[in-house]
Every structure is written in C-alpha cells, then in structure tokens.
A and B are shown apart, each in its own frame.
Chain A
Amino acid sequence: MIQTPTPVKSRTTTVAPLSITGLSVAYQKKPVLRNVTFEVNEGELIGVIGPNGAGKSTLMKAALGLIPSIGGEVLVYGKPYRQQRKMIGYVPQRESVDWDFPTNALDVVLMGRYGHLGWFRRPGAKDKALALECLAKVGMADYAGRQISQLSGGQQQRVFLARALAQDAKLYFMDEPFAGVDAATEKAIITLLQELKLQGKTVIVVHHDLATVQDYFDSVLLLNVEVQGFGPTEQTFTQELLQHTYGGRLAFLDRSLQPPSRFDGKGE
C-alpha cells in the first residue's frame, strides 16, 4: 500500500532532498500521522493533498522538528534535519502570525536572513539588497516600507514568499500558500515556484484546490493520516486514489472543485 519511490529518474544519483521514514505523530490517543514514508526527488514541485484533519500541516511541522514525533526519521540531503537547517525554507500559514506586529514588509523579508547570520550579527547592507531583490521577484518592491497590517491578504502571502526566497534554501516547505489569495497573487506564486524548480530547488506545498493540482505539481502526496499514494501527478492523482484518500466525502468534493475558503486548512 505504501508506494516507495522508484529510482527510475535519471537525476537520482544524488541524495534525495527529503527522505521521511516511518514518521508517526500522535496527539493524546489519536494518531495524526501513522508510519509516513516517502522520498522526494530534487527539482520537483510536490503537492501534499488530503482532507481537513488529514495531518498535512502536522507533516510539515513534524518534518521541521516543530512538534515531537513518536517515531520515525527525517533526512534532509542525507543528514538529520538539525544539521541542514540552512538548506530549508519555510512558509507558515498566513494566519499563524499577528499582522499587527510593528514592522514593515522589507523587515519581514530580512527575517529570512536571520538563519544565516549566526547569533550576534545584524542584517547588513548586503542582506538588505538581497531582501529588496526578493521583494521585487514577488512584485512587491513598491511596498517595501509598508506596515504589514496595511497589506492585502495576497500581498502578505507574497511577503512571506519573499522571506522564504531570502532564506536562500534548497528545499522549501510551504503551508497553504494559495489559501485565500487573489488571482494575481496565485499567478505570481506559481510563476515563482516554476522559477525555483528551474534553479533545481525542491518545493513541498500543502495544497487545497484539487482543480489546479494537475497544472501545478510534478508529484503529489495523498495523505490521510497514512500515505494513500505518492508519485508523479499523472499516475497518482487518479479518481480511484482520491476516492480512497477522501473516503466517502468525494461526492461532496466533486461539487466543490473550486478554491476553498481561507479557513479550510485550520484545526489540523
């Protein structure tokens, strides 16, 4: 039932960017993730798909060591996560921070540099230039000095992406970057993802909108507590496997193949 990735791809002579083996997480009695095992290829966009409460955000947080797991191993480029932090970029859910914080867009992007600065160094002119560049890449250069609460939801999301770019990572985790954004932002984000892919970076995205999965992702991970399917999109994103992942809820799901509301991903 668990499909281990087949090493057919020509590029897989290098170590996998992310390899997860037997990861399990439980809150109290209830298992949230059970025995999750998969390995992603370098330079791919991977969508993580599953119903609400399937453990998608939990998977990201557990992989990043933000919540304790009860078993399993997470390797980033062949080494434990702790040793590879600088290779990883993370975009949390937009609702997870307080946008009333007294700071501006440029400053938020600069936070992406903190991981590279060590304990005592402050961001310098070079970091600032890089941050401005990242803001420009997401089309937000004009908003650098804007207080973050005055940005629209889509603009806030783009600032978060710019911050991830500033992290200058090789492997990115993005938790619902498309949730509640406008069409322009969605387009900007997907262009950016394609660009990252061209640079040989690997991006793992928690995604909700089933209608766009085939257009956006090279591989998908179907998740519902356990891995229900993993592999190239055209082979894995099938009616049968989706039915399996979403259970009886698929009938309801067919009708709602539009972008879900921004609160959908909460409570995982």
Chain B
Amino acid sequence: MQKQEDQDWDLVIKGRSSLFDLRLGELWNYRDLLVMFVKRDFVSFYKQTILGPLWFFIQPIFTTIVFSFVFGNLAGISTDGAPKYLFYLTGITSWAYFSDCLTKTSTVFKDNASIFGKVYFPRLIMPLSIVVSNLVRFGVQLSLLLCMMTYFYIFPMKGSSFHVTSALVLFPFLVILMALLGLGLGLIITAMTTKYRDLTFLVTFGVQLLMYATPVIYPLSYAREKGYATLVELNPMTGIIETFRYAFIGTGEFNLLSLGYSALITLLILVIGVIIFNKTEKNFVDTI
C-alpha cells in the first residue's frame, strides 16, 4: 500500500541519491534553455563592440602570426613541411576550442552561483551550453582556416605543401572528442572548486602549460626526435590534434590506436566528471 502511494509522486527530493542517477531525461526537457543560453552568450559577446563578430577572427590571426614568428622563425621548430601559418592555425583553432571548453566550464559553479542559488534547472545545462557556444566560435574560426587554406592553395608558399586527406571524415568525431574532454575535465574542476578555490588558479596557467605538452606549436615527430614522445603521447589531446592536422593539411600522424586511446580517456573523464558534478550540484550552494 505504502509502495503504491509512493509511485504517484512526480518528484521526490531527498538528501542522498544514487551516484549514477544522472537524470538525463530531465536534461532533454530543458533543451530550449540550452538554446537560449547559447544565444545569450553569442549576442552578449559582441553587443556594444564596433567590430562585433570580427573579434572571433582577430584572436587566432594574431596568435598565429606571433607563433609563426617566435616558434617558426626564431626557434626554428620544424612544421613537417607544411606552410607555417596553416600549421599553427590548425593547432591553435583546435586547441582554443578545447581550452575554452575546459576553462569556461571549470568556473561554472562560481560564475553562476547567483542563478543556481535562486532557481532549479538541471545544472548540466550550463556547462553544455558553454560547450555549444564555443562551438559557434570554433565554427567561425574554422572558416578562417578554410580561407587561409584556399589562399595557400592558390598562392602556394615556396618549399612547403599541404593537402587535405580522407581523415577529414573523422572531423565531427574529433570535435566531439575535444568538446567532451574539455567538458569532462571542466566538470571535475568546477565541482572541486566549490570547496577548494585553489584549483581556479591552477586551471588558468595549467591549461597554458598543458599546451606545451601537446603538439600545437611543434609536430609530434619533432618531440619524438628529441625523445619526449612518450610524455606527449600520454596526453589525450595529442591524438586528437595530430589527427585534426593530418585531416586538414596532411602533416602529422594519423594513428587509430592513439585516437582510440584519446577516446577512451575522454569517455572515462567525462563519466567521472558528470558523476562528480551531479553529486556536487545538490549542495554546492551551501559551500560556495
């Protein structure tokens, strides 16, 4: 009898619940909210700026120029025969997406404490909306890459060549991997920062340092030459970025094993991240 009665309730609010009760169905009900958040992020980004969405281009262009000069010309790190600008731009575009996803989701609880403290919606919507908003930005920057590729195709640079490979079919998969890896790591960090603020400081420079452990400014072959390949290969982003670069400009290593390793680690981190996040969201308002 008691049991029968219990089944009539639409919602039971309890202190503790199963670790794996992720309520993904609820997430689907709030999909409109996700769209609204993405729209908000996009519109508010360029409101009251003169250049508007152009800012999406300016950052990668300048970073590419500086990287080409510092690492390409001054340090003389090889680009495996690819045009320097394309080499750095592919690295920067994909790395920027990953690092944006990571750094932005890692402060979700802190940044949205005021909203989260006043109204309930599945908290996971917020980090997801960040990943999707960044996707818009990534798309815009990708178009920059395509423009550059067209330019270098028509006016090839001396001594360097590039070609698009069939690995391009993996492109959606690569984007999803980058998004989920950034998201998963971000979720873990944001959940921990509700109690231990120290991590916030770690993230900002940690991501910067991590970039140097990823073949963004150098090809994997260069790391191998210098004997640091194992260290770099342990990084799950390595497989993704190498494949990305191979797909677009034909340099780098395309290795299914390394990509599979990245996918596995991503999945693992994502699952841990979502579980920790869900556990934290219930009470974080009390500690933040």
A binds B: no
Name B residues whose Cβ lies closer than 8 Å to a Cβ of A: none
